[in-house]
């Protein structure tokens, strides 16, 4: 069947020809030029297909607000990343007083410093609460079952990494509270079976708690774990898109017991 082509809206049509001009169609309106830039990039990168695949997909009937908890966790992470970048502009991982002074500078003197630090500090708790609520939704709805086991396993890794972010971030102000809380945390890790003592030595950066511990926690908090979280969120979302969102347990797959067939049909109908 031939596709009906609709005319371009007026604001996107080429500007009228000026006297003496050869070809009016070569001049672009600003809106048209915008589209052309996107087209130009897409012609080279071919990303629009992937973006459409990711964003325009069918979701099962009966989904509700509980299904937004994964995205809410992702936005909490993004807020942590943005506020963390601004904090890193002023923070110094210096155990001989510099770390504490830089945090005091952020809180008392830097423009909006207290606000950004507060957002990062409270945001950490928000992200941990949201990730647990998201996990509870997935568990209670049975969404971890076939074929979403790998999505769950990646999720568990994300949960552990998020907790590591909280643990390593807590030391960074390097005040009395964060110092002694981290000493206790590392000692608890040391009591673990087999790898416990090696783990606590690794976290301390040797037998003594001190400057190496701070730079180690800083590197883990700023580089290692955020990088891993970004990569794993990518894999998590790829699987969510590829497998489709699971239906709530009270909505039955239309007359079929094979949910994969239903998912496959939904994907091919898009």
CA 2 to chain centre: 42
* Region near ligand HEM per CB under 6 A, out of 48-56, 64-72, 164-172, 254-262: 64-72
Q: Which residue is nearest to ligand HEM (CB)?
A: 155
Binding of ligand HEM by 124 (CB under 6 A): no
CB of 164 to ligand HEM, least distance (A): 12
- Using the rule CB under 6 A, which residue among 33, 35, 85, 156 binds ligand HEM? 156
Q: Which is nearer to ligand HEM, 73 or 189 (CB)?
A: 73
Cβ(201)–Cβ(187) below 8 Å: no
Binding of ligand HEM by 144 (CB under 6 A): yes
Binding of ligand HEM by 236 (CB under 6 A): yes
Structure tokens at 190: 């040391």
The residue assigned the tokens 């999505």 is 151
Tell me the C-alpha distance between 164 and 96, whole Å.
24
Binding of ligand HEM by 155 (CB under 6 A): yes
The string over 51-86, giving b where at least 16 C-beta atoms fall within 10 Å of a residue's C-beta and e elsewhere, is: eeeeeeeeebeeeeeebebbebbbebbebbeebbeb
Q: Which is nearer to ligand HEM, 99 or 131 (CB)?
A: 131
Return the residues of window 67-106 that contact ligand HEM according to CB under 6 A: 67, 69-71, 73-74, 77
- Using the rule CB under 6 A, which residue among 138, 171, 172, 263 binds ligand HEM? 138
DSSP symbol at 258: -
Q: Per-residue x/- mask for ligand HEM, residues 204 to 233, rule CB under 6 A?
A: -----------------------------x
- Using the rule CB under 6 A, which residue among 131, 171, 186, 263 binds ligand HEM? 131
Binding of ligand HEM by 134 (CB under 6 A): yes
Tell me the C-alpha distance between 59 and 203, whole Å.
44
| Residues contacting residue 73 through CB under 8 Å, at least 6 positions apart | 127, 130, 131, 134
CB of 135 to ligand HEM, least distance (A): 4
CB of 74 to ligand HEM, least distance (A): 4
Positions that interact with ligand HEM (CB under 6 A):
67, 69-71, 73-74, 77, 131, 134-135, 138, 143-144, 148, 151-152, 155-156, 158-159, 162, 233, 236, 240, 245-246
């Amino acid at each position: 069947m031939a596709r009906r082509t609709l005319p371009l809206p007026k604001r996107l049509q080429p500007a009228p020809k000026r006297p003496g001009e050869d070809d009016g169609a070569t001049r672009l309106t600003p809106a048209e030029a915008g589209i052309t830039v996107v087209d130009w990039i897409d012609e080279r990168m071919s990303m629009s297909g992937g973006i459409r695949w990711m964003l325009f997909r069918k979701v099962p009937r009966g989904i509700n607000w509980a299904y937004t908890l994964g995205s809410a966790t992702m936005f909490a992470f993004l807020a942590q990343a943005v506020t963390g970048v601004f904090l890193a502009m002023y923070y110094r991982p210096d155990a001989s007083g510099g770390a504490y002074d830089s945090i005091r500078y952020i809180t008392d003197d830097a423009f909006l410093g207290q606000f950004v630090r507060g957002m990062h500090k409270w945001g950490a708790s928000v992200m941990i609460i949201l990730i647990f609520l998201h996990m509870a939704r997935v568990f209670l709805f049975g969404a971890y079952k076939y074929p979403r086991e790998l999505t769950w396993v990646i999720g568990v890794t994300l949960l552990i990494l998020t907790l590591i972010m909280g643990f390593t971030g807590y030391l960074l102000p390097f005040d009395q509270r964060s110092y002694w809380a981290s000493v206790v945390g590392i000692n608890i890790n040391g009591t673990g079976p087999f790898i416990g003592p090696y783990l606590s030595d690794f976290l301390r950066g040797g037998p003594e708690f001190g400057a190496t511990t701070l730079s180690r926690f800083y590197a883990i908090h700023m580089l290692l774990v955020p990088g891993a979280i970004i990569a794993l969120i990518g894999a998590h979302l790829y699987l969510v898109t590829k497998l489709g969102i699971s239906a709530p347990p009270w909505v039955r797959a239309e007359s079929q017991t094979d949910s994969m067939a239903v998912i496959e049909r939904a994907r091919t109908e898009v």
